[in-house]
Structure 1
Amino acid sequence: MTDFTLKIQFSKADTISLNQQGYLVAIVKGQQTAATVNQVPVWVTFAPFENNLATWDSIYGLFGSPDPAGSNAPITTYSSEFPAESGAIYPFQYNSFGKPEAAGEPNTYTVQNADGRKLTFGLLQSITANGVAHNAQPTSATAIETNMNIQLLPSDTVSIFMFNVVQNGIVIITNETALLDVDMKTNPQQTIHFDGQQFVVGPLP
């Protein structure tokens, strides 16, 4: 079931120019700034058409990985639990998620790192962009020490920008265009467009 729909429009001239330069549309989860966007995984990227469509639902999962968070390196979801149960605590031991235990905070996903070493955990969420399904992609990544818990909070806000060298799951580096934060919770079906320099809310004029 699709809970959210985001239409992204470009003029013909911008579509040609951006593709000639190798630019991609990048979407990350959460309200970001130029400083924080470098610390979160890219949820999805795609080459821009004149009319683009991204859809997703509210089903979340969890992942565990030895890869460092926020290091401009790929994040591989070596172990995962998808879908995961909201409001539960998932123990992570022997490099795997166990059965959810005592109730955690409502509308959150809690991981208990019992693996004996520092590991990176985060949320997973699927998205379909221009007809291509990207299943269980990382949307957040935080490293925690052993014997610690982390509460992961889903966000219905997405940040969109253009970038010319990026892949799904790689932490953003630099040179992105200005970010546009879109709150999909208040309006789950929205249209934005590229004005030649950055994204703007609303359809092409």
Structure 2
Amino acid sequence: MTTDNLTYEELSSIYRTELRSNPLSTVRPDLYRSMAVLLYSLKRECIMLAKDPDSPFFEEALEKKTKAEVMVKSITAIRTQKVFLRALRSAEGFDAKLDSMTDEEIKFFHESQSSVRKQLSITYDYQMEDYSGGCAGDDPVCNSEGGCMLIRILEDLPSADSFGIDCPLMREDIVTLPSDLARSLISDGKALEIVPGSRSQS
């Protein structure tokens, strides 16, 4: 673990990197603790220099502390958003790498992933007989020995007759189909299985 104190210049560098980088950048493992230590030291410096409020050193220290506070808030917000987006994609079934996250961010990732999965499964808790689309929801085949699968359609299928489906399926549709038909779509790269409540591999 990094033991050197975070400097104002290093904080500025991290801030610039996070602003211009779409992926989550690699940072020191103790990022959040070190940012807290830096802010504390800058505040103490301001308190000491406040004995002479007219001093240019006090004004400089106060401005530095204010800028540091803004950068810390921005870094935290930007990285939190990036981590949440990874958790969202992971909950949808995509792979997510955790190697560039701090311990605090990994904890937030897993908490967000769990919350997103619960949110995504809300609709699936309702009885499918309430579905008015007339496509696969009330299919008695789903109650047969083969069972059924919940899938997300990855591309528009205006004509799905070849898969034994008598109505069009559109990209991002969430449908329940007999397992054999669902697996056929998945094997052709036209659908992705959704398993509510399961843990994706990171």
Name the TM tier (shorter chain).
under 0.3
Q: Which has the larger radius of gyration?
A: 2
**Higher relative strand content:** 1
Q: Provide the TM-score with structure 1 as the length reference.
A: 0.26
Structure number with greater CO (CA < 8 Å, separation at least 6) is 1
**Higher relative helix content:** 2
